[in-house]
Structure 1
Amino acid sequence: MSKKDKLLADAQKLMQKGQADKAINCYQEALATDPADLRVRQRLAELLAKYRRVDEARKELETIGKSLTANGFYMKAIAVYKQIEKLFPEDIAIALTLAGLNEKHGLSANALSEYKRAYDHYERLQNHVEALKALEAMQRIDTHNPNIKLKYAEVLFQQGRLDEALEAFRSLGLLLVERRDEAAFSRLAERLSQLFPDKGDFTCSVIEQKISDGGAEQAAVLLQALIKADPQRLSAWQLLVKAYRALENTARLKTVCQHFIKFFPSELFPREQLIRALLDEQETSAALTLMDESEQLFIAAGAAGTLREFYLALNDLVPINVRILKGCARACEAAGMSEEAASFAAKIGSLAGLGGGQPAVAVPAEEELAADEIEELLPEVEPEIELEMQAVGQAEEGVSPAATHGTGPRELDISDFSVAKASLEADFYEIEVELDEDLGAAAVAPADTWFETVNDIFDNIQTETGKVRFGAGMENGDAQSQYDLGLAFHEMGLYDEAINALRQAAEDPERRVSCLILQGACLRDKGELQLAENALRALLTLPSLSTEDSCALKYELALTLTVVGKNDEAWTLLEEVERINPAYRDVSARLHDASEGKSVGGLDFSEDELLDFELK
């Protein structure tokens, strides 16, 4: 026997005699001979913690945690640091370490929960620098969480970092536009008008950026809502036109321009855009009528060159038309191109001479429309953008800004954001974890009904996990990670944490049964024997257990029954497992031991017991 093994055996004997201090010394000497033995170090840490030598225990556990982290065993490292957290629940450095480990392993909800705890701690201490670091980490993990973005922007503003705050608010605005959350975006814009009254129209600047970034479709939805709320909002009309042009939706573009002109008859922009759309569609008669009507607006605005461009394009489409040629001549003259104007005048004269004063080719009479008939050429207004048309004066009277009460700007509350449905009931915001909506829409099958009954049993399990709460939900991709984390917690004796992790992993239907079985095992190991037995028996009623799940369930139930003294039933269950899979775990050894008159669990020696009998 090696020196280390002898020291471990001596330590076990001393523990049986109640001489804990001497046993600890033996473990320390054994560890000195092999510092890399993490199992011995773990046993030493547990003894130190048990006998209130918590600082020494922490030192050993941190050594284990750092070693596991360095070698990429993040799950086991998380379990180790959870043990430290139980010893030092108020030490925020542990929460930050756990946050980093969860982040590295892709457990976003858990990482957010730990960073949130750190943020709350630093806020209480008025340590804004560290609080902001926690928020930055949360943003890094969940870039599309509006609540985190809002709090981050507000904290920046409170610290006087105004440019950064404005940019953070703008980022939040872009996210809300992408989500098409009109109500939340409007409240954000109101807040920004109070915080930055000299920054102009925040709403339209954000929407314009969204259009430039390729989000014209989302921008159009929000702009329609803004226009319905205030039809006199010129900038919103202009951006809606730009959005539909970016989307290359000519039908809606023409409809919007038509309404735009009715509300703002002296604005050149919608007329210009409508003419372009009509020319693109080769609706020459409607384009010509609108150009004639808008000619003086173009000239007054110094846009005679644009008018000339339109007339030349129209002349290319309808090459021998006196009305169009006259328009070309007028536009060229207004643009200061006298020679070109004279050339068009000469063409008009020659055409008139050839036809006895009549154009050689004329636009059909039925196509020569007055301005008020242009609508008949355009598509009907689609329901989602149809406005209740009203006189400009009435619109101005009907739109009045709401009075702002109070002595200063009201800080936005998270409840203002309709996208933020609480998944945890606490504090300034809730960590949002979105689940697949289709899961709730599926019809309930008999197996689902069975799971509802069984889940009621497991959901009533009361657990305590210190002061850290995990996220309420997760994506399916996290299920394996949560399952592995549950196993690591179980191995470390952190049964409440294991149950919580396994609950989350059970959201994946493929591993739901195995997670419930392991929760039952955790209940047994933490001493909740009756609850464990009831929960595992409930699982036996599942209509169609897989072979693997059936063996695991009966095996864990057998171990539970053994502990409560129901050895005969336990033996029967193990025999059933052996018939299904003779090689399953140590079932054959347990049955052989039981056949010799011993308990079913007779061979379940611990490592220390094996050392004591010098069998290891």
Structure 2
Amino acid sequence: MSKKDKFLASAQKHLERGSLEKALSDYQKAAEEDPKDTRVWLKIAEIQIKRNRKEEARDVYLKTAEIYTDQGFFQRAVAVYKNLLKLTPGFVDAHFKLADLFRQLGLLSDAMQQYELAAGVYQKLGKVSEAMGAMRRIVDLNPEHVLARIKLAEAASQAGLKDEAVKSFRLAAEQLKAQGRTDEFLRVAERLLTHAPTDLAFAKEAAAAYIERGNARFALSKLQPCFNANPKDLDTLQLLARAFEQLGQVAKTLSVTKELGRLHKEAGRHAESLAAFKRVLALDPSDDEARLETSRAQPALSVRQVAESAVSPAITFSEMAVPQFLIPRESSSTVAAVGASSSEISTGQGRSPLAPNSTDEVERLLSEADLFIKYNLLDRAVDHVRKVFDLMPDHVGARERLAYTLVQLGRNNEAATQYALLGEQFRYADPARAELYTKQAAATRLGAEDATDATAESGASPEFGMPVTDTSSEILEVDALDAEILEDETSAYAVDAPRSYVPLTDLATQSGLRAEKPPASAGWPPPSEPDPDDWSPPTTEVTLPTFEEFDRVEHTSAEGFSEAALTADLEQVDFFLAEGLSEEAQSLLQDLVARYPRHPALAERLARLRGLEAGAVPQPVPSVASEPLFYAPRAVVASGGQPDAGTHGDLGIAYKEMGLYDAAIKEFRLLAHDPEREIYALAMIGECFEAKGALPEAVIHYKKALNRGGISEKESTQIYFQLGRVFEALGDGKEALYFFEKVARRDPGYADVSARVVRLRGGAPPPPQNPLAGADTDSVNVALDAISGGSNRSRS
């Protein structure tokens, strides 16, 4: 027997007797005989842990992992580093070494996660430069990871490295724009312009994107410094003209367009000058300067019919009075001038003059359409916008709004038609703009064709990747309530009263800003954008709003390594389940579900975990090494079959309890195909969205459940209460009271509904806690909270 074996035998005897010190001494002697024997080192670490010597155990784990790495046993090294981090969480060196191992294994997503954890540790310690080093590794590892680049930019900003912050924000913005993610591009653009307010070229780029989104008010805040820097810049003037026209400020549109015509004429660009003055005549046929310039360029017109007049001086930005969030309210004379111009347009184009109250009616219709959009009643919004064309067939803002809303509904072909009509409308007056609309029409129609197959398979909207919902037929008992809301809110629009246009979440909680109502003529933002009047031009650091689905990272692991890693992790899960360690099992399963979604082996273990938490006795588990990696659990999937409805329900509940709401929603959507469980599935989807903080989606699915036939009184009562709770969280007291009263009439003792009704009727302040307190957040918002310091923690 060798010395090593003697020491090992002696150490084992001491362990059996409980003599840890003597056993440790023998194992250390055995390690001296064979320094590469990892089993001995792991025994030493185990004893050190029992002696509560964590630092010594950590050092032994580090040594063991290095031995495994040198020997090429990377998976074993990974397991050792994971145990080390459980022993000493936040040990940065282990995160870096583990990330390097994952890179060698091709597990890039896991490597990025370790770098993120290392960066988080450094940030908690106030070591910003070290944290930035970890963030740079993430960006180097995956240059297409936009959120990682944004985090790096924010860290650079906090460290005072302005140039690096600007560079990272710019690269992130370029990536988002190239991907067609305009909403996120604009939010990053706001951060970039906060750090580089003199970047006028990028400011114009952002302004153009805002105008395309129908959000001209934001565009004006970006164009003002551009105009101040160079009042004769043609690009700036083109964008100003479009912005003012979108806002319905005809007099300002005329002023800017005429300046464009003059500048083109001075530069000898006669075709462009003629197009600009034709556009002026299209807006105001009585404009003397435009008639004179077009008659000179077209001799067919009689010059004698044109009244000679002096050319107006160059415009200034102060003459192009911009909306309230930039300067004080316009005078009544300016508004009257705009109204007069609108009347002239109608007459000049051969239509009957608009009635004196037609402009007010158009504004009312657009305001009500905005309200319908706020509550996600998109079909009703479309109907309202169409009524505008009975009064003003060529209203550009209304047609742009209609096209955008149709895209949101997934009706891309109809939206393309609207863009094509806009292109035809500007065909002669503004060929460049007409070409933009024509391209937009083609792109929209092409997008509809490309998305057809994918939509047929998944039921997803080609625009947003979510199921298209027809909300017009799903709103239950809301018409009367809508009438009350419209009466209150649209009357408020007329006096510019505050409006809370938010994505049905509390923007004041989310960003620290109070929302205000825009004038009724304002360009409406899409649901994912804040209202422009909610913001003023940024002068200080602002928190970065939520970015939907920034965290999509392609898992580039090699299949062989993935299978081996999963097998090892499943063995550990089985150990936890067998020992009744539910918390440890849940933690590891949550990580595995994120990496291997919908894997049947995980489904079976999730079911066992639920049984364990319910008090069931743990059952012995077979060895994972002997079972096939991709198998169908007998209780879940028959050979060659698909999971049954009960399995989808069980998985959905398991995912929901673990906070994996997106995964839960997918399972409940599949469960909804079972007519007998459809109501339950829709209600659970609503609860998942409510927990995520996606309150509009929660309302939609609760109301879908209410509209299904065969719903019981008990089920409807519960859903009424949940709707009331959601609307109370939104600050919509009337709507909340409506649903709570329905519950109280059925069952006054249901939960705390009586107290809620009394509070809402009496105008008493709401309780200090959020009605939705405890709602979890998704991984992207957790990451964004780390950026903003947790100031916008209201939704996930």
TM-score of the superposition, structure 2-length normalised? 0.38
Which is bigger in relative contact order (C-alpha 8 A, separation at least 6)?
A: 1
TM-score of the superposition, structure 1-length normalised? 0.47
The structure having more radius of gyration, on CA atoms, is 1
